[in-house]
């Protein structure tokens, strides 16, 4: 019985000491690392980013307090879901007619994207934006539609170390 109690208290101490290292409160100047997988679905409620095909012409205007884009198929979806505001994400960008190839750091080539036809549309924060996105993706004028994700910059090599701790 004495040996059992001795082993029990030894295991209890090991357990307590091992938890104090991970259970300590971080200092004010410590960097707290987040697991990027946990925040991959963080987005601004009620906001959608829409990339229209390069040849689609948009003319933003206010009609009855609601911004319309001048593309009837898109405007009908936005009006149906009461999306009140639309604005150009990169207001100074113009359509680039010359194709330009760029290289990544590992040597992969890709075409420089046009940024002139990307818009942020805003609706009620309680709106189910995934329903709107699915309807927009069916439109032939839309290259892509997605939530306005909230991204943070982290060092992925360090993240894997913190995931193990």
What are the structural domain ranges in the chain?
A: 43-149
Q: What 3-state class would DSSP assign to 80?
A: helix
Rg (the chain; Cα; Å): 25
- Could you tell me which CATH number the domain at 43-149 has? 3.30.70
What confidence score (pLDDT) does residue 1 get? Answer: 66
The conformation of residue 18, written as its DSSP 8-state character, comes to H
Q: Read off the pTM.
A: 0.67
> CA distances (Å), 108 to each of 28, 101, 103, 105, in order?
41, 10, 5, 7
Express each pLDDT in 22-79 by its tens digit: 555 666 666 666 565 555 568 899 999 999 999 999 999 988 878 889 999 999 999 8
Express each pLDDT in 96-115 by its tens digit: 888 889 998 899 998 888 89
The conformation of residue 114, written as its DSSP 8-state character, comes to P
Among 132, 149, 143, CA closest to 84: 132
The residue among 151 and 129 whose pLDDT is bigger is 129
């Amino acid at each position: 019985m004495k040996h059992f109690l001795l082993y029990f208290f030894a295991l209890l101490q090991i357990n307590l000491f091992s938890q104090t290292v991970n259970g300590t409160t971080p200092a004010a100047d410590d960097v707290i690392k987040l697991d990027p997988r946990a925040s991959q679905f963080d987005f601004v409620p009620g906001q959608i980013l829409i990339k229209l095909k390069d040849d689609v012409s948009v003319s933003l205007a206010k009609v009855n307090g609601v911004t319309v884009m001048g593309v009837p198929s898109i405007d009908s979806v936005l009006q149906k879901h009461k999306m009140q505001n639309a604005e150009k994400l990169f207001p100074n960008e113009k359509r680039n007619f010359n194709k330009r190839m760029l290289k990544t750091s590992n040597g992969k080539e890709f075409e420089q994207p046009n940024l002139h036809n990307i818009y942020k549309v805003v609706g009620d924060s309680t709106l189910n934006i995934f329903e709107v996105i699915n309807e927009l993706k069916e439109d032939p004028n839309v290259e892509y539609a997605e939530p306005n994700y909230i991204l943070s910059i982290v060092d992925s090599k360090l993240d894997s170390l913190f995931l193990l701790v």
